[in-house]
Structure 1
Amino acid sequence: MVGIGQPSNQGSDSGPANPKSLSLHKNVRELPLSSERPCFRLLEIEAAGRREDALRGGAATYDLKDPCDIDYDALSYCWMAPDATEQITLNGEEFPISKNLSAALRQFRALQQEQQQAAASSPPKLWVDAMCINQNDNAEKSHQVTLMRDIYASARRVFSWLGEADEHSALAFDTLRRFAASADGGTLDTAATARQLSGEAVERRAAIQRFVRRPYFFRMWIVQEVVAAKEATLFWGPHSIDFDDACVAMERITGSDFYPFSQETANLSYVWRWRDAYHGRNTSGGDEELDLRLFLDTRDKSATDPRDKIYSLRGIAKERIRASIHVDYDDSIRNVYTNFSKHILKIRPDLQILSAVMVRHADSSIYELPSYVPDWTQPKYGGGILQRYYRFKPTHLFRASGKTKPHVVVADDGSDGISVEGLRLDTISCVIDIKSLLVRGPVSSTTVTESVLHELAENTIPTGTYSFTAEPAWMANFRTLTADRTALSPRIGDGYRSANFSRFSDVDLQKPNHIPTGLPDSLWEEVSKAVEVIVEDKDLFVTEKGYVGLGHETCAAGDVVCIFFGGEVPFLVRPDGGADGHGFRFLGECYVHGIMDGEAMDGRGALEKFLLM
């Protein structure tokens, strides 16, 4: 894990406290790395009698393409606080390292000695980013990052260090091992294991919570390091478990309701899925897993250097993306992000990267990015229109632009603007603060019921019927403010509905564009929770022609609703004074009820080229 790529909010990984000594150390002075060949440095840690003995070792350079077999392990870890430094003596000279790295090296040394005694083998070499790369030389760092995938993929094993053990470590790993070993007849129904552990459920759940919240799992760089590995082992102090076994266990733990599924548990699920795709074990959706989806799904992971939100995934991304990412730590963050967006828009048959733009980021972003470029340092939110596609039937995915392909022109003169072809659907006439209308009751919670929806319809569709779909107004409002993706949506796949929305199994959703009336309060309460997430950063809007839509909270009267060719969803733009008055500021995706399946393309009007600035 390259030191430039660690986050500041989960334990800083900005590097050792005395960076000057890194560039002057013997490793750099006497072991230079060629930029013409895939050369890298490896360490050998000397044996010691006791764990607390000083760390000592040596280093040498090697060529990744050498025909001889280089037996080495690679360390994957967090740099943590840079001011808590210790020392290792390398080639006779002291080298400052973080406390967390020191603990990892001591555990590696102890494990290495056990293995040597058992097999009488030579000590394995070790690759550690902080000690094998000159972090103060951008040229060396840039070249080494292009080799990172191969370094981890060629290692005998990736040693994934979670940190020193605490009172939860042993119990957490014991719980993981028990669930990993229990297949209950070959199925993922591990209710029997959950019952066996029910007597210690409180303690074991606390241990699992501590495990999934380890800072290690929130880092950008660990994704490539673990995904590319032939074999990865998680170490929490002296306790260890195979990474894939831990992922199997977490799937069974959450599947049996022993521990709830959450974004924290999903951190492991995602990496496991990417490992399967990278190693060809995923026969369903593997191509998309390592394409743009990889960058979208890691958005909430942390990196100290914002460029690593792109660079750290380069090695495992599909070739058509990897080839376009030129690693250069002297390049500006603005250029890295802008060039990445332009390339994605050139090569993909859709405009999904535009759905990653969130206008609320504009107030906190410091990089002055073009309006159509996502700020990858900013978090994603749960209410994106294109999120949760996996819920939909394949025949019911959004396709607002019908069967059209993107028409995007990216200037080759280095300017920021791009031209996107499409249709101007309508203009927003009014915006409704939907959250204030839905928050009710003594605890001010989001409340959605049929009666509330009837009230809301009086403000948006006073005729009582939504003319574009012939639906009752309240029903059209509901499908709009939920982006048509709750348990009551006709788009949801039957398998997903039965597995995740079992409480709605008796609801008749067979009629197109129809939601049954008279649903019990308990179901509306569940729907209300989903709506609260969806509208968290959204407002409802009505257009001049009477369309009802859902857009990001900064949309305003006068904003233009567009359907860009190749877009699954419509988009909002705002006229901008630049480009001789013909430019637009891109605002983001939106949902407009009645056009999400390409209806507006049937009698489409004149084509227009939108210059996004």
Structure 2
Amino acid sequence: MWIWSYEVVSYVWGTAAASIENTIPGFYTFTKVFDSACFVLVWRWLDLDGAAIEAMDLPDLFFGNRRRKSKEQVDRVWAIMGLLPERLRSRVSPGVDYSAQGRSHYWETFVLFAGAVYEEEQCLALLNIPPSTRKSSPPLPSWCPDFYTAEALCNLQIPNEWRRSVRDETGPYRTWFSIEENDIAADEQKSDESRAALLNHPMKLIKVNNNDAILYIRGFVVDTITEVADGTDLLQLRDAYGDLMYQQFANDFDDPIPWTLRNFLVRALNLCRRTCRPLNLDAKVPQEFVTSVLRDSRLNMEANRACEDLFNTFKQSGAIKHKELDKIRREAVDILWWKVHLTFGHSFFATQAGRFGTATPGCKSGDKICVFYGGEPLFVLPSGGVGVGSKPVKFGGTAFIPHMMDQDQRDAARLSEDEIFAIC
């Protein structure tokens, strides 16, 4: 009944408001917080089956809500406050300030809210929110997302993939997983246990110094980035192209945008070959590349074959090759392309230890791959932020490396003792 009511109210209000907007320009400025709140309620019932919103749900919620209308920047936060755990509400609610100064200094609300999530929930989920295309003024701490922005440099992909249940997959994509139907429950249990081992690690320490806006996190270093295929700005380029149906994209050799996107993927593939197959650069697509593109280590050789077919169609004769594939393989290429095009904006990288992975944009050679206790993905920090004499540094983003996403794998790869990282 609740969800039905939300949907009806959202639809009726949206339809009525659209009509009124045609008559009274600017009408939406009075209704935007209602629109945001309505979206949050519907999202809660559709995605969480009515369960309480926890801190780990915030990236999905904020990212999905980023294009909803809001009258004030602070509405992005206040629209969801009533659905959050009581301990979090009690800390943040006293900071509610709709005075003229409170609305104009919206960044103070963002920092207050983010700091409360880190400390009260001992949760690093907000670090998973992709960086914004907008430059906040004044600048926010790098650990505090810009909750108001509508545009991000990449999609929310890294934290959402490698533990999702195969039960949710349908069609040809389901056959790419090396998990039989009768093993799905065991795989789900293993994923839940592995995730809990990361999020509830006994060495977790997350603290915010409110005086200088520094976030302190305990963790350790596992690797160093040596080379990057930079994908910064490619999401905006992809969006500028418009329709990305694969048949059209593969055949468009005159438009520079498809060429740029294809060339980026080829550069990333060649980087993976040099890193993982240095003695056989002409080898087919390495498993590490497929795993990094799809951010899942449970894939079988059908996923590899689809990736090989995809890259074969990037050649000038691509249209013919795509048509020559049988129906099942054509469908596989189309599905893979849909998955691949969601990753534009991310970068791919190689590491000193011979690993290959993907990260949110902005990572560069020399950056450190770190484990933060309590964090699910891997994290990137500039080299100046690790080791003896390190200083507070800007957060460098989240990362995925095949076979490095469980706690035991990370412990085996550690290069340093535990230390306290300082992020400004």
TM-score (norm 1): 0.46
Aligned to 1:499: none
Cα distance in structure 2, aligned partners of 1:334 and 1:289: 20
* Residue 307 of structure 1 pairs with residue 74 of structure 2: yes
| Pairs within 5 Å for 1:385-404 | 385-387=158-160, 391-392=164-165, 394=188, 395-396=190-191, 399=195, 401=198, 404=201
CA deviation digits over 1:186-220, x for unaligned, max 9?
xxxxxxxxxxxxxxxxxxxxxxxxxxxx979x944
User: What is the CA-CA distance between 1:528 and the residue it aligns to?
Assistant: 1.4
Cα distance in structure 1, aligned partners of 2:267 and 2:135: 34
For the structure 1 residues 306 and 594, does the alpha-carbon distance in structure 2 shift closer, same or farther, using more than 3 Å as the test? same
SS at match of 1:345: helix
Aligned to 2:421: 610
User: What is the CA-CA distance between 1:423 and the residue it aligns to?
Assistant: 0.8
Cα distance in structure 2, aligned partners of 1:336 and 1:533: 31
For the structure 1 residues 441 and 354, does the alpha-carbon distance in structure 2 shift closer, same or farther, using more than 3 Å as the test? same
| Pairs within 5 Å for 1:151-230 | 160=13, 162-163=15-16, 219-224=32-37, 226=38
Aligned partner (choices 111, 116, 135) of residue 338 of structure 1: 111
Letter in 2 for 1:343: A
Cα distance in structure 2, aligned partners of 1:390 and 1:602: 20
Looking at secondary structure, tell me which structure has more helix per residue. 2
For the structure 1 residues 291 and 545, does the alpha-carbon distance in structure 2 shift closer, same or farther, using more than 3 Å as the test? closer
User: What is the CA-CA distance between 1:563 and the residue it aligns to?
Assistant: 0.7
Looking at secondary structure, tell me which structure has more strand per residue. 1
Aligned to 1:288: 54
Aligned to 1:459: 274
For the structure 1 residues 373 and 222, does the alpha-carbon distance in structure 2 shift closer, same or farther, using more than 3 Å as the test? same
Aligned to 1:423: 220
Letter in 2 for 1:539: S
Letter in 2 for 1:274: R
User: What is the CA-CA distance between 1:475 and the residue it aligns to?
Assistant: 1.2
Aligned partner (choices 564, 573, 587) of residue 396 of structure 2: 587
SS at match of 1:567: coil
- The answer to whether the 8 Å contact 2:88/2:121 transfers is no
| Pairs within 5 Å for 1:79-94 | none
User: What is the CA-CA distance between 1:355 and the residue it aligns to?
Assistant: 0.7
* Residue 373 of structure 1 pairs with residue 144 of structure 2: yes
- The answer to whether the 8 Å contact 2:368/2:381 transfers is yes
- The answer to whether the 8 Å contact 1:385/1:590 transfers is yes
| Pairs within 5 Å for 1:178-577 | 219-224=32-37, 226=38, 271-274=41-44, 282=49, 285-288=51-54, 292=58, 294-325=61-92, 326-329=95-98, 330-331=101-102, 332-358=105-131, 360-361=132-133, 364-379=135-150, 380=152, 381-387=154-160, 391-392=164-165, 394=188, 395-396=190-191, 399=195, 401=198, 404-405=201-202, 406-411=204-209, 414-433=211-230, 442-443=252-253, 444=258, 457-463=272-278, 474-484=286-296, 490=298, 515=303, 517=305, 520-534=329-343, 536-575=344-383
Cα distance in structure 2, aligned partners of 1:276 and 1:432: 37
**Identity score, percent:** 19
Letter in 2 for 1:382: N
Larger radius of gyration: 1
SS at match of 2:400: strand
Q: Which is worse superposed, 286-295 or 558-567? A: 286-295
Q: Which is worse superposed, 472-481 or 583-592? A: 472-481
CA deviation digits over 1:405-464, x for unaligned, max 9?
53112225x22112111011122111114679x99653427669x999975643332346
- The answer to whether the 8 Å contact 2:35/2:68 transfers is no
For the structure 1 residues 291 and 460, does the alpha-carbon distance in structure 2 shift closer, same or farther, using more than 3 Å as the test? closer
Q: Which runs of 5+ in 1 are unaligned?
A: 1-152, 167-213, 227-266, 466-471, 491-508
SS at match of 1:160: helix
- The answer to whether the 8 Å contact 1:453/1:474 transfers is no
For the structure 1 residues 289 and 375, does the alpha-carbon distance in structure 2 shift closer, same or farther, using more than 3 Å as the test? closer
CA deviation digits over 1:366-392, x for unaligned, max 9?
231111110111234434312368843
Cα distance in structure 1, aligned partners of 2:228 and 2:267: 18
User: What is the CA-CA distance between 1:297 and the residue it aligns to?
Assistant: 3.6
Cα distance in structure 2, aligned partners of 1:593 and 1:527: 18
Cα distance in structure 2, aligned partners of 1:306 and 1:528: 35
Letter in 2 for 1:541: F
User: What is the CA-CA distance between 1:328 and the residue it aligns to?
Assistant: 1.3
Aligned partner (choices 390, 401, 410) of residue 600 of structure 1: 410
Q: Which runs of 5+ in 2 are unaligned?
A: 1-5, 20-26, 167-187, 238-245, 310-328
| Pairs within 5 Å for 1:108-119 | none
Letter in 2 for 1:410: V
User: What is the CA-CA distance between 1:548 and the residue it aligns to?
Assistant: 1.0
